[in-house]
Amino acid sequence: GQLDDKDIEIEVSAAPMGVEIMAPPGMEEMTSQLQSMFQNLAGQKQKPRKMKIKEAFKLLVEEEAAKLVNPEELKEQAIEAVEQHGIVFIDEFDKICKRGGQSSGPDVSREGVQRDLLPLIEGCTVSTKHGMVKTDHILFIASGAFQVSSPSDLIPELQGRLPIRVELQALTTEDFERILTEPNASLTVQYKALMATEGVDITFTADGIRKIAESAWQVNETTENIGARRLHTVLERLMEEISYDASEKQGQSIEINAEYVKDHLDQLVADEDLSRFIL
């Protein structure tokens, strides 16, 4: 450790030039071989670098450790892990459902997407740049709001490939409270840190957080239910006045309690038209 601050010059491997070769589907294996060939033609170049002994030691250890890794074996293990333990989560699945039994216009393309997904979910072999991947044992999870459509609007073949259905309940006031208090980087913590940069000390009381949660739940019930995202809009509206005047409130301590939330949000929450466009 006594020589850590000494400068030395070492020869290290230069980063290989990145060459990305694009190819049509089904030819990924050939492009991978071409890419490897170009990298081998370039050769492993060394370049001198001047640095501290401590930094050089770390760099040389990483370089030698990389030589111990067999890329082909690593690729095989990765493909096996994907095939045996892979999980594919498909969100907004309701957007590819036919609506109202129609079969024209956009609904034709929606059905086309479903038929493209069918072999993947059913089990097939997919060609990737790392090799062939079988999807037989990969777990597929699809989710969606299904407010306009329902799972029965999917094509029958796809319904049969997704046999387990779970209906989730809407978030309650208690859920909103937990979201505002339990995470290490919850919205309340973020706003306290943001105001602290302006020298303003913000404190959220338990009854204040409860009132915020109730307001978010009420707006979700009366307008569109957008889940926990509603907390962003409600808190932004609640903190608007403090945020704009933060530079003038430097050194002050402000308590966000139930009374404060009631004064700033109740009128807005009660008016459905206003809350629809502002919250």
DSSP tag of 171: P
Residue with tokens 């370089």: 63
Q: Does residue 84 sit within a domain?
A: yes
Q: Does residue 259 sit within a domain?
A: yes
Last residue of a domain, one of 119, 135, 161: 161
Looking at the structure, do residues 181 and 274 belong to the same domain, yes or no? Answer: yes
Q: What is the pLDDT of residue 129?
A: 81
**Average pLDDT for 154-170:** 92
pLDDT in tens, 104-122: 556 668 889 999 999 999 9
Number of residues that this document lists for the chain: 279
Looking at the structure, do residues 186 and 262 belong to the same domain, yes or no? Answer: yes
* Cα–Cα distance for residue pair 101/149, rounded to 1 Å: 10
pTM: 0.69
Q: Is the pLDDT of residue 19 over 60?
A: no
**Average pLDDT for 135-144:** 95
Q: Does residue 166 sit within a domain?
A: no
* Cα–Cα distance for residue pair 46/60, rounded to 1 Å: 13
Q: Does residue 32 sit within a domain?
A: yes
Q: How confident is the model at residue 22 (pLDDT cuts 50, 70, 90)?
A: low
Q: Does residue 88 sit within a domain?
A: yes
The overall average pLDDT reported for the chain is: 87
Q: What is the pLDDT of residue 149?
A: 87
**Average pLDDT for 266-270:** 84
Q: Is the pLDDT of residue 228 over 90?
A: yes
Number of domains in the chain: 3
Q: How confident is the model at residue 45 (pLDDT cuts 50, 70, 90)?
A: confident
Helix (H/G/I), strand (E/B), else coil: 172: coil
Domain that holds residue 257: 173-278
**Average pLDDT for 127-156:** 91
Q: Is the pLDDT of residue 51 over 60?
A: yes
Q: Is the pLDDT of residue 55 over 80?
A: yes
Q: Does residue 234 sit within a domain?
A: yes
Looking at the structure, do residues 217 and 263 belong to the same domain, yes or no? Answer: yes
pLDDT in tens, 186-218: 999 999 999 999 999 999 999 999 999 999 999
Q: Is the pLDDT of residue 48 over 80?
A: yes
Q: Does residue 264 sit within a domain?
A: yes
Is 173 in contact with 218 (CB distance < 8 Å)?
no
Per cent of the chain over pLDDT 90 is 55
Q: What is the pLDDT of residue 25?
A: 62
Q: Is the pLDDT of residue 152 over 80?
A: yes
List for the chain the helix, strand, coil content (%; round to 5).
Answer: 55, 15, 30
Q: How confident is the model at residue 24 (pLDDT cuts 50, 70, 90)?
A: low
Q: Is the pLDDT of residue 43 over 90?
A: no
Q: Is the pLDDT of residue 49 over 70?
A: yes
Q: Does residue 167 sit within a domain?
A: no
- 11 vs 160, more confident: 160
Looking at the structure, do residues 179 and 273 belong to the same domain, yes or no? Answer: yes
Choose the most confident range, by mean pLDDT, from 72-76, 127-131, 147-151, 172-176: 172-176
CATH number at residue 142: 3.40.50.300
- Going by their DSSP bridges, the two strands 139-142 and 201-204 should be labelled as unpaired
Which amino acid appears at position 110 of this protein?
Answer: R
Helix (H/G/I), strand (E/B), else coil: 54: helix
Looking at the structure, do residues 120 and 191 belong to the same domain, yes or no? Answer: no
Q: What is the pLDDT of residue 96?
A: 92
Q: How confident is the model at residue 127 (pLDDT cuts 50, 70, 90)?
A: confident
Looking at the structure, do residues 98 and 123 belong to the same domain, yes or no? Answer: yes
Looking at the structure, do residues 187 and 155 belong to the same domain, yes or no? Answer: no
Last residue of a domain, one of 53, 68, 83: 68
